[in-house]
């Protein structure tokens, strides 16, 4: 692909995907010495006589030790730990009429959130923005992101599914203001500007495709240090008490919400609007943007990456049911040259949409 940024994602993917294989073997000089006794009869001892199975031993009728052991219940049951409850991982579903996704309890951010755009949805302006940010009651209280976590943090409460894409219904707009749909985002030059124009780019795609589906989410990517080693480092904002089980009443509250280093958007331009069937060709675009101020003259194509690199970096699969033969490259069908040519105009245009988002 042209303009893909391998140093941004490809290096990251190889780093995150690296694994260590541990091999266990018995040294040759420590192998057990086994004396195989000569059977005295043609029948095995009865169970009440006690059956001793020797390694690698064969019965007279060539029954293997493994086959005999399969009939004997193991002396342990690791699965029994589930009687106390399944530790996880548990992905809380984020479900509303305007969005669908999964929530990450550890970072207090969504893993991913999906929206659906059509010509009818983007042309309707029934709902209005009320800025009613609030906790998501469907998430267990211990793992919720809270509005107060963003107070004096310097970060915006950044919508993953934008409110402006859900104006076809007041309920749809209101649902986007739950904190399960938010991530900490840099405001000036990103959330209030370049990111907002990227959201507008997605809506404008409905003029080319009757159905547009967008998946958005955070990434926590490693950076190369001065010593040449790659490390993942991100800020955590907000405060949460250590919990009722803490013995130290003066224990300092812990930070609560992770600040992503990057954000991704996966865009599907569909020729048919069908929830259950993949019909015809689908234009696919994957973009990764840093959570930082972006110059207003940068092309969106500068942030285009290979879809599988985003999958490796995020641990998610976005198009496993979409055959490669059905995929087309979005930026070959539409012009991915998103620019904020006049920054002052951008501020004026977007301020109304993002009012109240900056803390």
Residue 311 is encoded by which pair of tokens?
Answer: 């999958």
Nearest partner of 233 among 263, 259, 265, judged by Cα: 259
Reduced to 3 states, what is the DSSP secondary structure of residue 17? Answer: helix
pLDDT for the residue 256? 96
Catalytic residues: 159
What pTM was estimated for this model as a whole?
Answer: 0.74
pLDDT for the residue 249? 62
Instruction: Count CB neighbours of 337 within 10 A.
Output: 12
- Rounded Cα distance between 246 and 241, Å, is 9
Instruction: Count CB neighbours of 118 within 10 A.
Output: 17
From the candidate CATH numbers 3.40.1390.10, 1.10.10.10, 3.40.50.11540, 3.40.570.10, the one assigned to the domain spanning 6-10+90-240+253-354: 3.40.570.10
**DSSP one-letter string for 162-212:** -GGG-TT-HHHHHHTTBGGGEEEE-IIIIITTHHHHHHHHHHHGGGT-SEE
Taking the chain, what is the end-to-end CA distance rounded to the nearest angstrom? 39
Residue 29 is assigned to a ligand binding site: no
pLDDT for the residue 61? 54
- Which DSSP helix (H) or strand (E) runs through 67? helix 65-69
pLDDT for the residue 66? 62
Residue 28 is encoded by which pair of tokens?
Answer: 């040759």
Note whether 269 and 212 are within 8 A (CB): yes
- Rounded Cα distance between 72 and 343, Å, is 74
What is the residue extent of each domain of the chain? 6-10+90-240+253-354
pLDDT for the residue 277? 84
pLDDT for the residue 63? 57
- Looking at the DSSP bridge assignments, the partners of residue 116 are 213
pLDDT for the residue 246? 53
pLDDT for the residue 5? 52
Note the pLDDT tens digit of each residue in 62-109. Answer: 556 666 666 788 999 999 989 888 888 888 999 999 999 999 999 999
pLDDT for the residue 26? 37
Residue 13 is encoded by which pair of tokens?
Answer: 């993917």
Note the pLDDT tens digit of each residue in 121-159. Answer: 999 999 999 999 999 999 999 999 999 999 999 999 999
How many helices (H) and strands (E) the chain has is answered by 8, 13
- Rounded Cα distance between 22 and 24, Å, is 7
φ, ψ of residue 204 to 5 degrees: the values are -70, -20
Residues in the chain where the model's pLDDT stays below 70: 1-70, 241-250, 339-359
- Rounded Cα distance between 285 and 329, Å, is 6
């Amino acid at each position: 692909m042209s303009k893909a940024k391998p140093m941004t994602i490809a290096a990251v993917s190889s780093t995150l995907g690296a694994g260590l294989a541990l091999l266990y073997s018995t040294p040759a000089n420590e192998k057990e010495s086994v004396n195989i006794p000569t059977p005295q009869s043609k029948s095995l001892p009865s169970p009440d006589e006690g059956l001793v199975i020797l390694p690698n031993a064969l019965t007279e009728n060539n029954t293997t030790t493994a086959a005999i052991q399969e009939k004997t219940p193991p002396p342990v049951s690791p699965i029994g730990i589930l009687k106390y409850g399944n530790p996880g991982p548990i992905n809380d579903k984020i479900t509303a009429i305007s969005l669908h996704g999964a929530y990450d309890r550890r970072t207090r951010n969504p893993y991913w959130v999906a929206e659906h755009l059509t010509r009818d949805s983007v042309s309707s302006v029934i709902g209005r923005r009320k800025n009613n940010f609030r906790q998501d009651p469907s998430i267990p209280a211990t793992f919720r992101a809270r509005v107060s976590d963003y107070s004096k943090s310097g970060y915006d409460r950044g919508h993953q599914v934008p409110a402006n894409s859900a104006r076809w219904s007041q309920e749809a707009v209101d649902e986007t203001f739950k904190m399960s749909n938010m991530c900490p985002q840099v405001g000036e030059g990103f959330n209030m500007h370049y990111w907002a124009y990227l959201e507008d780019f997605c809506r404008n795609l409905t003029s080319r495709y009757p159905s547009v589906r967008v998946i958005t989410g955070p990434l926590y990517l490693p950076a190369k240090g001065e010593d040449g080693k790659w490390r993942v480092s991100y800020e955590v904002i907000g405060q949460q008490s250590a919990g009722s089980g803490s013995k130290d009443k003066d224990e300092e509250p812990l930070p609560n919400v992770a600040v992503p280093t990057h954000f991704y958007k996966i865009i599907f331009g569909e020729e048919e609007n069908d929830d259950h069937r993949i019909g015809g060709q689908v234009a696919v675009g994957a973009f990764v943007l840093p959570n930082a101020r972006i110059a207003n003259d940068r092309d969106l194509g500068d942030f285009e990456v290979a879809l599988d690199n985003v999958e490796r970096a995020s641990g998610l699969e976005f198009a496993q049911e979409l055959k490669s033969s059905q995929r087309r490259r979005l930026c070959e069908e539409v012009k991915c040259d998103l620019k904020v040519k006049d920054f002052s105009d951008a501020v004026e245009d977007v301020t109304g949409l993002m009012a109240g988002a900056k803390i």
